[in-house]
Amino acid sequence: MSRNRFPLHSAILIALLAGSGAFAVHARAQSSQDSAQNSQDSQDPLTRQLPDKERFKQQKELKQELKGPYRKWLDEDVRWIITDQEKKAFLSLSNDEERDAFIEQFWRRRNPNPDSPENEYREEHYRRIAYANEHFAAGKPGWMTDRGMIYIKYGKPDSTDSHPSGGTYERPMDEGGGETSTYPFEDWHYRFIEGIGENVDIEFVDTCMCGDYHMTIDRSEKDALLHVPGAGETLYEQMGMAKKADRFRGGLEDLGPGPGSAGNQGKEFDRLELYAKLEAPPIIKFKDMDLAEFLTSHKVLNGPFFPFDVRTDFVKVTDDTVLVPITVQIKNRDITFDTKGGVARGVVSIIGRISTITDRVVQSFEDTVEVPEPAELLPQTLNNASLYWKAFPLRPGLYRVDIAIKDVNNPDHVGIWAQAIEVPRYDDDRLAASSLILADKMERVPSKDIGAGSFIIGNTYVRPRVTTNPAMPATFHRNQNLNFWMQVYNLGLDEKSKHNNATIDYQILNAATNKPILDTQEASEKLGASSDQLTLEKTLPLAGLEPGKYIVKISVDDDVTRQQIAESAPFTVEQ
């Protein structure tokens, strides 16, 4: 018999003693108690508010449970790479079975090749921990030091400038110039860090002279004579044009003035932003495992194909590094929009990787593109397109690029794209050019944005027109401008004048007749007489061209090296 059921003989006895009214009151009270009990029993125990005593007890038990290998895994093994959300989720687990499953998924999300029996990311991570413990220990394990943290997160730097004994130091001009003495310090340089950017410089200083280098955003911190009056002065201070006492008036760095130090104050926020990004966990490259499987297994799509277009370009950075911008174009009419509060919002997940011909992943990316449109204007914007842009530094050679996209509001709507690309080698003795980019928007960017942000190459914002097939012409309208951008490399310099001497010919050709509609020339000396590299940027209003198909052709004739090159790109003008 249920403990909440009221016995019949008891009801009769109460009715005889107190009357039917008393029984009715008691029955209502009992029914209310049953209802409350049932409600409490059906409430989700994970969302039910616990009494403070019980909550503190659970927290104490959880802390005791995590004293073993799970506590070590959380506090040591993945301390620098686990996100706050992942840590919170791990701490909410109630048994070891759930924790083991979590750890397995944790590494799987970061594995560049989910189908591989070995997890490359995990193996590399523990190798980095071992290296940090061996090389960066300083009264504490190497993984706990700042150098260990950065090494574990981002691997070996591309170059290192080490001063293990400190000593005499000639400041660069952007630090004020002049000679001083320093504590031991190291500068690490990364050409590229995913989620942070290009040309990342990190400085570590050992102010305690104990081997414990700490990361700093204040380049004056390594100056051992910083607070010694009259010592370690900058060039301007030595010349009497500034006072050392003026350095200590607030600000991020106590660098003294010098010939190249004018922009230091304007870069303080950039340094703070960089420091914050370096302290945060590295980005998770493969969060969407279902989407990542399309890159590795190339499984059959379940739903309708999600079409998109991709363009790749090549821009020389150094003798052995080429910047490869990848532009993804998604048309609004192919996106599923969800309308709430008068706003129609489309969301697309993008994941991609670049691998060598031996299937070794060298670059990867994952991002989300959001397309918000006013609901009443959505029908008029369906012909628009959204662009996603990412640039990667690669060495010359043959690569495979795999990209997959997923419509978040329609998860079965997935698209995949794969193509081999050959990153060119720009030999010093051969006249060469970057990709010729036809852009619908091109403009100079402020100095603070140089080299950062989407569609920015050097100091120019270049948003390319993307076509379904690279051989197909890009389409422009007569009320628009045609912008084209290209760089020329390895121009010869005359031995006597040290100037270049090349002729650049710009032509707009009728695609049907191959006859020039516009033909103009320019001397290379006007663009940079003493440079072996030039950037060609031109804008052409299309109002004067009749609708039709055309070709942009740029020819370079180098009179010093007697070499010629020509690049061309088709385009269409519509009314």
Q: For residues 428-439, give the mean pLDDT.
A: 95
CB 194 within 8 A of CB 351: no
Segments in 222-339 forming alpha helices (H): 235-238, 268-279, 289-296
Residue 24: Cβ within 10 Å count: 11
The pair of three-digit structure tokens given for residue 331, joined into one six-digit string: 């048309």
| pLDDT at residue 422 greater than cutoff 90 | yes
Q: What is the pLDDT of residue 436?
A: 97
Tens digit of each residue's pLDDT (9 = 90 or more) over 6-29 = 343 333 333 333 343 433 334 344
Tens digit of each residue's pLDDT (9 = 90 or more) over 199-213 = 999 999 999 999 999
Tens digit of each residue's pLDDT (9 = 90 or more) over 366-408 = 888 889 999 999 999 998 999 999 999 999 999 999 999 999 8
What is the rounded CA–CA span in Å between residue 407 and residue 369?
10
Residue 476 three-state SS? strand
| pLDDT at residue 118 greater than cutoff 60 | yes
| pLDDT at residue 117 greater than cutoff 60 | yes
Alpha-carbon distance values, 431 to 183, 492, 556 (Å): 46, 8, 9
| pLDDT at residue 105 greater than cutoff 70 | yes
Q: What is the pLDDT of residue 305?
A: 87
Structural domains in the chain, sorted by start? 8-37 (no CATH), 159-279 (no CATH), 297-426 (2.60.40.10), 428-575 (2.60.40.2550)
| Whole-number percent of the chain with pLDDT over 70 | 82
Chain centre distance of CA 216: 22
| pLDDT at residue 448 greater than cutoff 90 | no
Residues in the chain, how many?
A: 575
Tens digit of each residue's pLDDT (9 = 90 or more) over 333-374 = 999 999 988 899 999 989 888 989 888 888 888 888 889 999
Torsion over CA of 467, 469, 471 and 474, rounded to 10 degrees? Answer: -10
Q: Is 219 exposed, middle or buried (0-12, 13-18, 19+ CB in 10 A)?
A: buried
What is the rounded CA–CA span in Å between residue 282 and residue 110?
10
| pLDDT at residue 43 greater than cutoff 90 | no
CB 329 within 8 A of CB 308: yes
What is the rounded CA–CA span in Å between residue 125 and residue 132?
11
Spatial strand order of the sheet with 548-558 comes to 474-477, 563-574, 548-558, 502-510, 516-523
| pLDDT at residue 88 greater than cutoff 80 | yes
Tens digit of each residue's pLDDT (9 = 90 or more) over 291-334 = 666 666 555 556 688 999 999 999 999 888 999 999 999 999 99
Torsion over CA of 34, 39, 44 and 49, rounded to 10 degrees? Answer: -90
Tens digit of each residue's pLDDT (9 = 90 or more) over 128-178 = 999 999 999 999 999 999 999 999 999 999 999 999 999 999 998 888 889
Q: What is the pLDDT of residue 374?
A: 93
Residue in the structure block whose two tokens are 């030039």 = 534
Q: What is the pLDDT of residue 79?
A: 95
Tens digit of each residue's pLDDT (9 = 90 or more) over 198-252 = 899 999 999 999 999 999 988 999 999 998 988 989 888 888 888 888 787 666 7
Q: What is the pLDDT of residue 293?
A: 61
Q: For residues 250-266, give the mean pLDDT.
A: 71
Q: Which residue has the higher pLDDT, 47 or 474?
A: 474
